[in-house]
Amino acid sequence: MRYDLADVFTDAPLTGGNQLAVFADTPSARDGRLMQAIALEMNLSETVFLQPPEAGGDARVRLFSTVTEVDFAGHPLLGTAAVLAQHHDDDALTVRLETNVGPVPVTTQRLSEDRFTAWMDQPLPTISPIPDSQAEDLVDVLGLKRSVLPITLYNAGIPHLYVMAESPDDVRAIEPDFPALGRAAGPGRARINVFALTGATTAVTRMFSPYDRVPEDPACGSAAGPLAAHLVRHQLLTSGTEIVLSQGEAVNRPSTLRAVAQADQDEIGSIRVGGGVCLIGSGRLRLATTDRPYPNSPATHLADE
């Protein structure tokens, strides 16, 4: 089974960005347990399995973290588009990747043989308030005095909660208690994003995924778009203005994410997220046939330990 490795949301391979494996020779679409076992073996934030398109797109993708299949993700789609683009002569290429939440167009621009920039049009999220008691628990567990903006849940295939700290130093100082964060996130197992503005169009952010074996994400593309929309909705960012997000320093994977949201207080019109992609290698996974069943998705999560 052939695969490519990429670092996404960085222009510096090996030292930054979010890591990704993209498998081109993939198992049957029905063999999710094998895909999950491979994703756990790769031990990266996400692993992508390419499959033939089913709804008029260029490829169908199945996305797996180390513990579960996810309906949508950010850096895997940007990285997958760059993997596909390396086999085309055109410097600019747009592909439609079919996900569990529908087709997602991704446009890549080749910078060199193994360097790209990539931008995606993200699915629009649903927006939900959370109970005051849950908001208070989150602020307390994070060690913050308050959230500057109302803590809000956005969901475009992966649920994300957004907590705005008073300063960038408050974001950087957080020492996450993952079991407590998992309980505060609630039964929907939402990811928790804590951010603060560092300028008019820049911010620092951290994303905690307490139920995953990668409990702090180096660069979360699925969270970047709704964060831009959240700021626009609360008039801290002008609609259509690009915001540059810094993430990953706490886990020694500094990353740069860019997001643009067209929105107003009541409605989100569009969301785009982009960044650099470095293709860093490729290889083959060798699997002998066996009668032993592959295990179910890992049942032990950090938040439950």
Strand partners, 258: 244, 274
Q: For this structure, is 46 an active site residue?
A: yes
Ordered DSSP codes for 94-158? EEEEEETTEEEEEEEEEEETTEEEEEEEPPPPEEEE--HHHHHHHHHHHT-S--SS--EEEESSS
How many residues in the chain? 305
Residues 6+ apart with CB under 8 A from 267: none
Q: With contact defined as beta carbons under 8 Å apart, do 46 and 73 qualify?
A: yes
Q: With contact defined as beta carbons under 8 Å apart, do 224 and 245 qualify?
A: yes
Dihedral of alpha carbons 25, 40, 19, 208, sign: positive
Q: Which of 46, 175, 242, 267 is catalytic?
A: 46
287-305 burial: b if 16+ Cβ within 10 Å, else e: eeeeeeeeeebbeebbbee
The DSSP H or E segment spanning 276 is strand 268-284
Nearest to 100 by CA among 70, 79, 133: 70
- What are the structure tokens assigned to 68, written together? 């579960």
Please state, in angstroms and rounded to a whole number, the distance separating the CA atoms of residues 196 and 171: 7
Please state, in angstroms and rounded to a whole number, the distance separating the CA atoms of residues 164 and 47: 30
Task: List active site positions.
Answer: 46
